[in-house]
Amino acid sequence: MSVGIGTVVKVGIAQMDVVTTPNTIRTSGLGSCVGVVLYDERKKIAGLIHVMLPDSTLGKVVPGNVAKFADTGIEAMIELLLKQGVQKFSLKAKIAGGAQMFKFSSDQSSMRIGPRNVEAVKQALRKSGIRITAEDTGGSSGRTIEFDPETSKLMVRTVNQGVSEI
């Protein structure tokens, strides 16, 4: 019960990890990247992926790092959670990020990577039959997120709007 017992597991860019209560899991400074949390409410276990790119087929080299992409990252995370004894049908998702940090007049595809990441994440989740219970995506602000498997709440912090829970 309560503060200070668990540790905060940090997930870096293009990385992923899994925690169980009383620990929480966090990733900082999401811009166009998307933080994807897959969680099991009853088992109080959650995985977090910090996705950079929508599609692994965009990588021109051998995609060694699966967590970098929405499609391969979500697939790998589901595998990881199944190994921990989670049933696929009990998984739900919360997602945040996918901002456009800079506004340019040019319509270069790399500038619209935020919305494309969000779309790819949703598509991958749909394919796996995982429902999104909350999201805070788009806009033009950076986000830091932290998920607590005990409460299934996702804390989202931005510079201008402060902290909210979804």
Partner 1 sequence: MDADITSLHLDVLKEIGNIGAAHAATSLSLLLNKKIDMIVPKVEMVPFNDMMELVGGPENVVVGIYLRIEGDASGSMFFILPVEQANRFIKRLIQDETFDFNAIPVPEIGLSAMQEMGNILSGSYLSAFSDFTGLKIYPTVPGLSVDMFGAIISTGLIELSHVSDHVIVINTSILEEGYEQNETVKGHFFLLPEPASFHAIFNALGVS
Positions touching partner 1 (CB under 8 A) are: 12-15, 28-33, 52-53, 58-61, 64-65, 68, 99, 101-106, 108, 110, 113, 140-144, 159-160
Q: Which residues contact 150 (CB under 8 A, 6 or more apart)?
A: 21, 22, 44
Least distance CB 107 / partner 1 (angstroms): 12
Least distance CB 130 / partner 1 (angstroms): 25
Angle at 46 between CA 45 and CA 50, to 5 degrees: 165
Strand 91-97 to 131-137 pairing: parallel
Spatial CA neighbour of 115 closest among 50, 54, 38, 159: 54
How far lies 45's CA from each of 67, 111, 134, 143, in Å?
A: 19, 34, 17, 22
Least distance CB 159 / partner 1 (angstroms): 6
Residue (40 or 136) nearer to partner 1, CB: 136
Residue 33 a catalytic site member:
yes
Least distance CB 12 / partner 1 (angstroms): 4
Residue (81 or 95) nearer to partner 1, CB: 95
Q: Catalytic residue among 16, 30, 33, 121, which?
A: 33
Residue (9 or 128) nearer to partner 1, CB: 9
Residue (20 or 56) nearer to partner 1, CB: 56
Which residues face 155 on adjacent strands? 146, 165
Q: Active-site residue numbers?
A: 33
